[in-house]
Amino acid sequence: MKTLREYIKEANDKKVAIGHFNISNLETLHAVYNMAKKLNVPVIIGLSEGEEDFVGKVEAVAIIKTLREKENFPIFLNADHHYSFDRVKTSIDAGFDSVIFDGANLSLEENIKITKKCVDYARKVTTETGRDILVEAELGYIGSGSNIKETIPEGAGIKTKPEDARNFVEMTGIDMLAPSVGSIHGMIKSGKPHIDGELVAEIKKVTGVPLVLHGGSGLRDEDFTNGIKAGINIIHISTEIRLAYDEALKKSLADKPDEVAPYKILQPVVEAIEKVVEDRLKLFNNLY
């Protein structure tokens, strides 16, 4: 089977994007996996620090590795938004396929220093084990929290400058970059952020690395398609899944107040998440 790096290269050549979906539990993983298999497209499962602590690193690695190897299906595991070298290191050691060091809140100097340390560590592990571990880092303001927000947060207009992106990639040696190109983490009640396609293309041109779009929830279809055309290779979706989970669970409990079997209560939840994931994967992979 191809490596994640090779799947990203393939997505870039085909002008499609790989879907990255955050999970907190098995039913969400099932929903994502079912839809990726149905559409026969590679997929990335993301675990933020909080999600990773809840699910368990060892458990997550064991499940994803088993699905990939025993079922021969391209599903990969990403340590999403990790905020320290130690957390990144622990995820690499546990067997994650890729990691994101998120130093967006640090000074540029500090962000570069810790990102480089993460890259050096990943390279060392690759040399020792042969595992190809991808390191992503974030530059610019994308906001934080996969939740529902009243308005676009202050400072969201601050986008990544191509020149800064080029220097950052050169100085850190990262494999993929998450730039700020208009999207915001979470869903905004009033107004939708807009992806700056020209900026995406410019950053892609000067950095030459795969680009990752964070904060995918709630964006318009054309923002995704323009972003992909301009050079986005991976798209992160989390809030839409959380919302689907929450609404379907509340409805399921209300519809059947006497039901106590979790697998019955949660079946409509899986279906609601499948719908979100299927729509997004079709759009990202040009399958409409």
98 binds ligand G3H (CB under 6 A): no
Query: Which residue's CB atom is positioned nearest to Zn ion?
Result: 214
> Residues in the site for Zn ion, rule: CB under 5 A?
214, 236
Q: Shortest gap between Cβ of 161 and Zn ion (angstroms)? A: 20
Q: Which is nearer to ligand G3H, 129 or 147 (CB)?
A: 147
Q: Which is nearer to Zn ion, 148 or 249 (CB)?
A: 148
Q: Shortest gap between Cβ of 240 and Zn ion (angstroms)? A: 13
179 binds ligand G3H (CB under 6 A): no
Catalytic-labelled residue, pool 13, 53, 80, 246: 80
Q: Which is nearer to ligand G3H, 50 or 208 (CB)?
A: 50
146 binds ligand G3H (CB under 6 A): yes
215 binds ligand G3H (CB under 6 A): yes
Among 214, 252, 273, 281, indicate the residue that binds ligand G3H (CB under 6 A).
214
Among 239, 270, 276, 278, indicate the residue that binds ligand G3H (CB under 6 A).
239
Q: What's the rounded Cα separation, in Å, for the pair 288 and 275?
A: 14
138 binds ligand G3H (CB under 6 A): no
Distances from the Cα of 134 to the Cαs of 20, 124, 210, 263, in angstroms? Answer: 14, 12, 11, 35
Q: At what angle do helices 162-172 and 197-207 cross, to 10 degrees?
A: 30
Furthest C-alpha separation in the chain:
60
* Residue 104-133 contact track with ligand G3H, rule CB under 6 A, x = bound: ------------------------------
* Residue 12-31 contact track with ligand G3H, rule CB under 6 A, x = bound: ----------x---------
Q: What's the rounded Cα separation, in Å, for the pair 17 and 232?
A: 7
Is residue 80 part of the annotated active site? The answer reads: yes
Q: Shortest gap between Cβ of 163 and ligand G3H (angstroms)? A: 24
Q: Copy the structure tokens of residue 250.
A: 């509340």
Q: Which is nearer to ligand G3H, 204 or 214 (CB)?
A: 214
Q: Which of residues 43-62 bind ligand G3H (CB under 6 A)?
A: 46
Q: Find, among 25, 21, 24, 19, the residue nearest to 39 by Cα.
A: 19
Q: Which is nearer to ligand G3H, 81 or 87 (CB)?
A: 81
Q: Which of residues 216-235 bind ligand G3H (CB under 6 A)?
A: 216-217
Which stretches of the chain bind ligand G3H, using CB under 6 A? 22, 46, 80-81, 146, 185-186, 214-217, 236-239
Q: What are the catalytic residues?
A: 80
